[in-house]
Structure 1
């Protein structure tokens, strides 16, 4: 029996008398494209912060490939393959695309902020950085600084930086937020092309993107799991229509 890529068991997070995450049990199968959706205030951000080690749970646990990582911090989880992007770009605005990707590769390989020092490393790092640029459709802007890129390209660059860490599980926090409509299709195409040995969790408000991308969808409401299922199952669920899609149950 295969091990799930990521799992939570009865995960709880309380802030004083407020329960932000209420006994959430979540399963991400190996190779799955799984969307996490819910209305504002549903607890999505708290849940992602629990997955990534930003917050410690009040109770319950987080497992990565069957290993309990609940006691690990952010960097320990990244080293084990749990990597995320953020709603707001975390880029160095004055670095070029090539420099940004080379830095990400060098950090992954333990070279720190001096990726050129180890003998023979420069060519290998540059080759990997160029390959990442090709995968994420950034080859044409390789020499451009990050701040000069379109917002859609900046989002692609941030995902490329995360992917440089060779994640086993990639958490994408609203990758299409603020991106013009004509660039969203490009982001979706790139995400669809990622290898299936990387399991992906997508947190997103763009429902067209969610339903186009996800194999499975989990709906959070008030810190709890309302339902979990395929895109067809979730989109036709009257409870989801009522609380998330804004449709009355009787319609």
Structure 2
């Protein structure tokens, strides 16, 4: 079986600066894979390469056995890749049910007619309601997005990505900025994602990483530094020194 995601020698240079260098990463189908690293390690550049925001300077990207190195962002979504962002990209004036319904309609190719058909396509509305309920947003689906607590906005962004029915979901720091009393909602929802969706998690919150991942890759100075199971990475003295801190206990 082909990996859900594979990069071979992936690199990105900005002039003489190498943001990523020779990154070869393989993520198995159905995996819960985390990518961690200190600030400035090149994680955001790597995600932007995977999603087509940036063109690579070297290397290739394979999605479910298909070369998508130069595919458009939309082309990658059509092939089963979806992502969230460090800073949410939500429509503040829409409600969650409107936001997710629009994403579902776009996936089905009916997005251009969506606004003239609000409420008319019961299958779209039913799918949106079920997804929002699964993401702990059922009680808030008709509230304007700008009024939602920040943790709920992060959950809505995951729901929006899941509305694309991805085969590979890239979660870019889903717990970033979430207040402590809302973090467990995010952790629980991430843990409950469908098993047939492969997830690559980019995160600084080590509680989330260690509770979620079955494999971890460590990026340092744009290159892969270490890779292994949670136990292997959490006990690796090199990782503790460069990322967790020499006196870290995990």
TM-score bucket (shorter structure): over 0.9
What are the Cα deviations for residues 182-220 of structure 1, in whole angstroms up to 9, with x where unaligned?
A: 211111111111111100011110011100010100000
| Residues 1:84 and 1:119: Cα distance change in structure 2 (over 3 Å) | closer
Pair 1:58 & 2:66 matched: no
Match of 2:150 in 1: 151
**Is the 1:115–1:121 Cα contact (8 Å) retained in structure 2?**
no
* 1:1-251 map, 5 Å: 2-115=1-114, 117=116, 122-247=121-246
Q: Compute the TM-score of the two structures, normalised by the length of structure 1.
A: 0.95
Tell me the distance in 1 between the aligned counterparts of 2:106 and 2:245: 44
Q: Shift of residue 46 of structure 1?
A: 0.6
Tell me the distance in 1 between the aligned counterparts of 2:51 and 2:175: 21
| Residues 1:4 and 1:121: Cα distance change in structure 2 (over 3 Å) | farther
Please give the root-mean-square deviation of Cα atoms over the aligned residues, in Å. 1.6
What are the Cα deviations for residues 15-52 of structure 1, in whole angstroms up to 9, with x where unaligned?
A: 11111111000011000011100001100011111100
Q: Shift of residue 8 of structure 1?
A: 0.2
Q: Shift of residue 237 of structure 1?
A: 0.6
- Runs of 4+ in structure 1 off by over 3 angstroms are 116-121
- When the two structures are aligned, how many residues end up with a matched partner? 248
Provide the secondary structure at the position in 2 that maps to 1:200.
strand
Provide the secondary structure at the position in 2 that maps to 1:40.
coil
| Residues 1:212 and 1:122: Cα distance change in structure 2 (over 3 Å) | same
Tell me the distance in 2 between the aligned counterparts of 1:131 and 1:121: 17
Q: Shift of residue 178 of structure 1?
A: 0.5
Tell me the distance in 2 between the aligned counterparts of 1:113 and 1:138: 26
Q: Shift of residue 114 of structure 1?
A: 2.9
| Residues 1:147 and 1:116: Cα distance change in structure 2 (over 3 Å) | closer
Provide the secondary structure at the position in 2 that maps to 1:12.
strand
What are the Cα deviations for residues 108-159 of structure 1, in whole angstroms up to 9, with x where unaligned?
A: 1111243265799611111111111111011111110101100000000010
| Unmatched 5+ stretches in structure 2 | none
| Residues 1:35 and 1:119: Cα distance change in structure 2 (over 3 Å) | closer
Tell me the distance in 1 between the aligned counterparts of 2:112 and 2:233: 45
Tell me the distance in 2 between the aligned counterparts of 1:191 and 1:70: 28
